[in-house]
Amino acid sequence: MTNSSTALFLGIFKGVAGSGVLAMPWCFMRAGWVVSLLLVIFVWAATVRTVVQVCRLAIQITPKKTTKPMIVEAAAETVDQVETSVADSSFVNKALCALKLRKANKGPKKPKEKLDPIGYGNLMEHSFKNERAGFWICWCCVIPCQWIASVAYIIFVAANSAPIFSSTMSPRYMTLVMTVIELALCMPKATGHLSFSSAFGNFAFFAGTGAMLVYSIAVKGLKVSNLRAFTDAKGAFEAFGILVFAFAAHTETLAVMAAATGKGRAKFPYLVFLAFLLALSIFVGFSFCVYAAFGDATNAVFFLNLPSNNIVLNILRLCVSLMLVCGYPLLAYPIFQAYEATGSTKEVDAVHTSKWSIIFTKKYMWRTLWRWLIIISTGVVAALVTDGFGPVSCIGGGLTAATSFILPPMFHILMSQRAIPRWSYGLDIFIILMGIVGGILSVATGVYSLFQN
């Protein structure tokens, strides 16, 4: 639990700064820099709106804490008892009573804070006033979406890390290494460890991508002649299918928010805006420079534009892979949150809705085994589909569209306590339609990739 704005900001930024930035230069090449820039700003604005909506609604349904009045009342009662004892006591007793009085003024120890009920399942339950709805939205949409994203992270790390060690090494060996590392990183129950992993991941991200960008500019140079403003409609649709999810980090942001307390919780929506604004600036600048350096030769993954026999570049590749390794816990935590917490959000001390909570977390051993099972399953699937993202994109595109652009506006419409202005209602409907179109395009890209292979 933390109220540090810096730690929360780094956690949010780490959730946004994923592998999507590495494919952005290809989108600029495919659709032209003018069209791509407009699409990026449009998607960024829609994403920020939906993330802030989810955060504000999560704060709205969080139970109010009532520990301070209880502490004051207990302290007052102790003071009365001490004052009564002092009136007819010996010198030693008076000294002991004075010591008790000093402790009473400090108040009893505050109870350890629990994670607040933050998750798509809770929002769904409050939207439809039905606990079963929250349960099913978690198990049919959010959990599969995060699970597939975790698989994609392992695939990306394995494919780009294997050539660093040997040109003949199979990426499947790296999936095994990645899985073992994540078994250790994902064990802490609370979300406090996310701050540390996020800070390290951000450092690796800036070090890796920044140094590779400097290398590209130094070797290739920035040429305005490489930049095309427009291409064709097909390129624009293909670019939109990728860019629509470039900033998607809704569940990861909620995972960071679950650990926010005090001032950090109050400032959280503003921290979201600042983190996403920083991500927008970095992503756009990175894409422009890479596109200007490589022109029409810009590859779908930026790594492939760089030589693989350079030791320094391989170290930088490893840095970016470490960034994704540190981002994996942010993806996996919402899965754990869905079934590990106890009770229903209808209770005062609720933390989640899953009716299977008692079965899954009755003992620490069962919690560990279930986490291992989930992480190992992502590694096994990643090893089986290492040669292509088609199967992952087919399913993940639609689920990501639902969690990023369809569910948040729907929650906002259903949970609003006041009348929604027409412009806001219309904007929510438009974002839902955008999510549907983006999901269809993403699924279509995955199907096309499958048929090509």
Considering 57-71, 91-105, 207-221, the range whose residues carry the highest mean pLDDT is 207-221
Single out the residue of 94, 91, 72 nearest to residue 83, CA to CA.
94
Residue 90 and residue 182 in one domain? no
Q: How large a percentage of the chain has pLDDT more than 90? A: 9
Is residue 50 pLDDT above 90, yes or no? Answer: yes
pLDDT tens-digit map of 20-32: 777 788 889 988 9
pLDDT at 99: 52
C-alpha–C-alpha distance, residues 298 and 293, integer Å: 8
Residue 95 and residue 243 in one domain? no
Is residue 354 pLDDT above 50, yes or no? Answer: no
C-alpha–C-alpha distance, residues 252 and 300, integer Å: 25
pLDDT at 47: 92
> What does pLDDT average to over the chain?
74
Beta strands, E only, 209-281: none
Residue 43 and residue 141 in one domain? yes
pLDDT tens-digit map of 421-453: 889 999 999 999 988 888 887 777 767 666 665
Residue 131 and residue 280 in one domain? yes
pLDDT at 395: 66
Residue 354 and residue 286 in one domain? yes
Considering 37-41, 90-94, 185-189, 349-353, the range whose residues carry the highest mean pLDDT is 37-41
C-alpha–C-alpha distance, residues 33 and 39, integer Å: 10
* Residue listed under structure tokens 């639990």: 1
Is residue 68 pLDDT above 70, yes or no? Answer: no
**Total count of residues recorded for the chain:** 453
pLDDT tens-digit map of 380-417: 888 887 655 555 656 666 777 778 888 889 888 888 76
Is residue 139 pLDDT above 50, yes or no? Answer: yes
Residue 302 and residue 425 in one domain? yes
Residue 29 and residue 102 in one domain? no
Residue 243 and residue 334 in one domain? yes
pLDDT at 356: 43
- The lowest-confidence range among 53-57, 136-140, 265-269 is 136-140
C-alpha–C-alpha distance, residues 304 and 326, integer Å: 22
Residue 94 and residue 146 in one domain? no
Is residue 127 pLDDT above 80, yes or no? Answer: no
pLDDT at 342: 45
Residue 124 and residue 272 in one domain? yes
pLDDT at 111: 46
10 Å Cβ neighbour count for 452?
8
Single out the residue of 453, 382, 430 nearest to residue 152, CA to CA.
382
pLDDT tens-digit map of 320-349: 788 888 878 877 877 777 666 543 334 434
Residue 83: domain span = 71-106
Residue 99 and residue 149 in one domain? no
Is residue 16 pLDDT above 60, yes or no? Answer: yes
Look up the CATH number of the domain holding residue 148: 1.20.1740.10
Please report which confidence band the pLDDT of residue 34 belongs to, taking 50, 70 and 90 as the band edges: very high
pLDDT at 325: 84
pLDDT at 113: 45
Please report which confidence band the pLDDT of residue 122 belongs to, taking 50, 70 and 90 as the band edges: confident
Task: Work out how many domains the chain is built from and give that number.
Answer: 2
* Residue listed under structure tokens 């820099």: 33
pLDDT tens-digit map of 246-270: 888 887 788 788 777 777 788 888 9
Q: How large a percentage of the chain has pLDDT more than 70? A: 70
Would residue 111 count as lying in a domain? no
pLDDT at 426: 92
Is residue 233 pLDDT above 70, yes or no? Answer: yes
- The lowest-confidence range among 111-115, 294-298, 313-317, 333-337 is 111-115
Residue 216 and residue 274 in one domain? yes
End-to-end Cα, the chain, rounded Å: 46
pLDDT at 93: 54
Helices (H), 120-232: 120-128, 131-137, 143-165, 171-185, 192-220
Is residue 304 pLDDT above 80, yes or no? Answer: no
pLDDT at 194: 65
Would residue 27 count as lying in a domain? yes
pLDDT at 344: 37
